[in-house]
Structure 1
Amino acid sequence: MKKLFAALLLLASATAMAAPQLGNEFLQTAKTIKTDNPAKIEVMEIFWYGCGHCHTLDPLLTTWVKKLPQDVYFKRVPGVPNPNWAPAGKAFYALEALGLTDKLHAQLFDAIHKERSVNPTVEAQLIDWITKKGGQDRKKVEEAFNSFSNNNNMVRAMNTFRDSGATGVPALIIDGRYLTSSSMAGGNQAVLQTADYIIENVRKEKSGGAK
């Protein structure tokens, strides 16, 4: 019995030691980012369609998102740290405007990384692909790429990337205040576990509990 108790204490100690640490597995964002719904906990993914790591994380993230509790919501924002990433960012917002995100988000990742049929830095190729795969009129897709709304969203995306303090993608921003990534956390599963840990602590904070 004593051996069992000692083993449980050791396990508890190891678990406590394994808890993600601010400054290691996650950081505070460079600036606080305003969330869409302050009453809930926002999880934001900053990604780029041309990023192989984002492609690998996407199915795991999608499964994880489906299990989020009611007080947590998820959103994606394209990373736009430089002009070469802008066409894929515009593609993301065009998919949203056309109501094609659920249908084509994962397919676009595959087209770029598995089929290698689309260059994410070439806007014309992205427009062609969405036109064909989405069964859309090309002019309608072009309008979605170049709309006032798309341009505004791109400006916000650029500001979000800057304010987050992210140095790469994929990155997760929790409650507009905490930044983590697979590289910081130690892998794709680890980053989701780190996000769970941050969410739990933010929930305690919002409810007035201990941080």
Structure 2
Amino acid sequence: MLKNWIKSIVLTASLLASTAAMAYTEGKDYKALAKPQPVAVAGKQEVIEFFWYGCPHCYAIEPAVESWAAKLPANVNFRRVHVMWDGRNDMEGHAKIFLALEGMGLTAKHQLAVFDAVQKDRIELRKEDVLFDWVKKQGLDLAKFKANYNGFSTQMQLNKLTETTKTYAIDGVPTFIVNGKWVTSPAMVGKEDDTITKVIDELLAKTPAAKAAAKPKK
């Protein structure tokens, strides 16, 4: 009797999980990427967040994204890419901040701080004197930050951000790419809260790591 009861509970849980797994709809809450791309790390699943520090919608969901990212299992590679569109010079200053923090390995730690400065405090971080003063106040190594912000490879890295934006056909932010196969965004799901992370989790379950194409070795 106990065994049958346990089986019943397990079956019910499975049915509930199955129902939950069908909560989001392809074509509405997410869609297939027109040109699938390889993941960056072989054997791992991947989520890419395309964003812009100047985007209020990106700022609105970032706390939920931070909370979600902190709980990701080791087999999921989460990375951020600052969007760069041709002809949008207003993005370059923010993108350079992203590149500088990336070069120092501090993007995740200071992501919300940059967003707060730009979106909440209205600090014009695209002005270098303002930016460097802010960097010092954050307790960052200003010399290292400047080296990454104005390094000889900075323009090349900016060009790479532009190419990556084109490769994934990003036409709005925030946008998330899952395993190089699926695209979703708060605009698609119609909410700027943790709903987007639930959609991402469903897509991760939809495409296991074993099925995620790995980037070929050079």
SS at match of 2:183: strand
Whole-angstrom distance in 2 between the partners of 1:206 and 1:49? 33
Whole-angstrom distance in 2 between the partners of 1:204 and 1:146? 37
Amino acid at match of 1:115: D
* Alpha-carbon displacement from aligned partner over 1:28-72 (angstroms, at most 9, x marks no partner): 224333322131111010111111111121111111112222321
1:174 is aligned to 178
Aligned mate of 1:51, from 41, 55, 58: 55
Q: How many residues align?
A: 195
- Deviation (angstroms), 1:101: 2.9
Whole-angstrom distance in 2 between the partners of 1:68 and 1:79? 23
Query: Are 1:157 and 2:161 matched, yes or no?
Result: yes
- Deviation (angstroms), 1:129: 2.0
| 2:45 and 2:209 in contact (8 A); partners too | no
2:151 is aligned to 147
Runs of at least 4 residues off by over 6 Å: none
Structure 2: stretches of 5+ with no match in the other structure = 1-11, 213-218
Higher relative contact order (CA closer than 8 Å, sequence separation 6+) = 2
Whole-angstrom distance in 1 between the partners of 2:209 and 2:101? 36
1:25 is aligned to 29
Whole-angstrom distance in 2 between the partners of 1:198 and 1:102? 23
Q: Indicate the structure with greater helix content.
A: 1
Aligned mate of 2:131, from 118, 126, 130: 126
Amino acid at match of 1:198: L
| 1:46 and 1:172 in contact (8 A); partners too | yes
1:70 is aligned to 74
2:203 is aligned to 198
Task: Check 1:73–1:17 CA distance in 2 against 1; reply closer, same or farther (3 A cut).
Answer: closer
SS at match of 1:119: coil
TM-score, length of structure 2 as denominator length: 0.77
| 1:144 and 1:150 in contact (8 A); partners too | yes
Provide the aligned C-alpha RMSD in A: 2.7
Task: Check 1:102–1:15 CA distance in 2 against 1; reply closer, same or farther (3 A cut).
Answer: closer
Structure 1: stretches of 5+ with no match in the other structure = 1-7
| 1:79 and 1:161 in contact (8 A); partners too | yes
* Alpha-carbon displacement from aligned partner over 1:59-108 (angstroms, at most 9, x marks no partner): 11111112222321211110112221111111011012234434432111
